[in-house]
Amino acid sequence: MRPVGYVYDPIYLEHDVAGHPESAGRLQAIVSHLESSGVLGRLEELPARDATEDDLALVHSPALVAQVKAASGGGGRWLDPDTYVVPRSFAAALRSAGGVLAAADAVLDGDLSRAFSLVRPPGHHATPDRAMGFCLFNNVAVAAAHLLERRGLERVAIIDFDVHHGNGTQDAFYTDGRVLYFSTHQHPFYPGTGDWPEVGEGPGRGAIINVPYPAGCGDEALMAAYRDVCAPAVRRFHPQFILASAGFDAHFADPLAQLRVSTAGYYEIATLLRELADELCEGRIVFALEGGYDHTALGWSVQACFDALTGNDFAPDPLGRGPPTRTPDVSALLARIRELHGLD
Ligand SMILES: [Zn+2]
């Protein structure tokens, strides 16, 4: 049985600004939780590599790469009101993208059965030519392009369960068709994109699937989107590889958003994605860390994903299911999205 792996590198902690929600402390909290709970000991550590500028050019303009490099070299600056660059950010961002590339190659080559890249800075808001929303380079999009352009694959699915829409990933593949991009996210919300009529164009038409949810949805509504829209769409697309943009800011404890997912909900989503990979593409799946800003919820939620990837039972977490609330009815929205994408 090939091992389940993880990628981590201490350079990821060197991209940091005191008081910013997208902090090194997020990843420190994840790693210390995984160490103290014994999860890391069951996994194979895979070294990250540095993405090259050629790797980034699979998705990004040379101008964006030069901008981030120059901002780091110049001592750091803010690229937008949310997105900082410090002197070590360019090096961290290269290894963040490279951390997902290394995992994708290791899984495709059969060295690992599945993997989770514990990387930062995160990536899914970074468009081909713009860093934004805490993201410098689009780690998952670069890995998908690498699998398609360099590793001979023809179909890659990207599943994005971060609470924000992955506008950068959508932009990168909007007219492509070789990438199925499925996203659940709070809407309307940052960055403003991801409404359900956004379905792709040209050869990409139908390969972009957005499930925009109102604030207050919880585990049940989220699982309905995965069971009733994601799973049939992924089965029809029949990917050769699945990448997951794994953000945990939909957790009810998260300070930045209001979807009300629990750690158990993340376990269910991760289990469904692992089962789809087993059914459709020889188990090939790589998770990559995106957002998530409550440090306790992050540790338990990442553990839940590893437990799903390794086939372990869910380890009940102290946060539980959260306080009960009235949740919006999303059945009409899901029916409309299923109809739009021909999933009925
Ligand atoms: Zn997010």
Q: What is the DSSP letter of 276?
A: H
For residue 303, which of 292, 316, 284 has the smallest C-alpha distance? Answer: 316
All structural domains of the chain with their residue ranges:
4-340
Q: How far is the CA of 210 from the centre of ligand 1 (A)?
A: 15
What is the fold of 4-340? Arginase; Chain A (3.40.800)
**Mean pLDDT, rounded, for 11-28:** 98
Percent of the chain with pLDDT over 90: 98
Using an 8 Å Cβ cutoff, are 60 and 93 in contact?
A: no
Using an 8 Å Cβ cutoff, are 188 and 196 in contact?
A: no
For residue 34, which of 72, 7, 74 has the smallest C-alpha distance? Answer: 7
pLDDT of 324 above 90 = no
For the ranges 93-97, 136-140, 323-327, the lowest mean pLDDT is seen at 323-327
Question: For residue 241, what are the β-bridge partners?
Answer: 156
Q: Which of 33, 124, 125, 341 is catalytic?
A: 125
Using an 8 Å Cβ cutoff, are 5 and 44 in contact?
A: yes
pLDDT of 112 above 90 = yes
Q: How far is the CA of 152 from the centre of ligand 1 (A)?
A: 31
In terms of Cβ atoms closer than 10 Å to its own Cβ (0-12, 13-18, 19+), residue 215 is middle
Rounded alpha-carbon distances, angstroms, from residue 8 to 30, 44, 61, 217: 11, 11, 27, 32
- Confirm whether 238 is a catalytic residue: no
| pLDDT range class, residue 325, cuts 50, 70, 90 | confident
**Mean pLDDT, rounded, for 241-258:** 98
Q: Residues 59-79: pLDDT tens digits?
A: 999 999 999 999 999 999 999
Coil, strand or helix at 251: strand
**Mean pLDDT, rounded, for 170-175:** 99
Rounded alpha-carbon distances, angstroms, from residue 283 to 42, 150, 239: 18, 20, 11
Using an 8 Å Cβ cutoff, are 257 and 249 in contact?
A: yes
pTM: 0.99
Q: How far is the CA of 110 from the centre of ligand 1 (A)?
A: 30
**Mean pLDDT, rounded, for 268-273:** 98
Q: What is the DSSP letter of 289?
A: E
Positive or negative, the CA dihedral 134, 136, 138, 139 is negative
Q: How far is the CA of 290 from the centre of ligand 1 (A)?
A: 7
**Mean pLDDT, rounded, for 173-185:** 99
Q: What tokens does 6 get?
A: 């993880």
Q: What is the DSSP letter of 241?
A: E
Q: What tokens does 92 get?
A: 């961290």
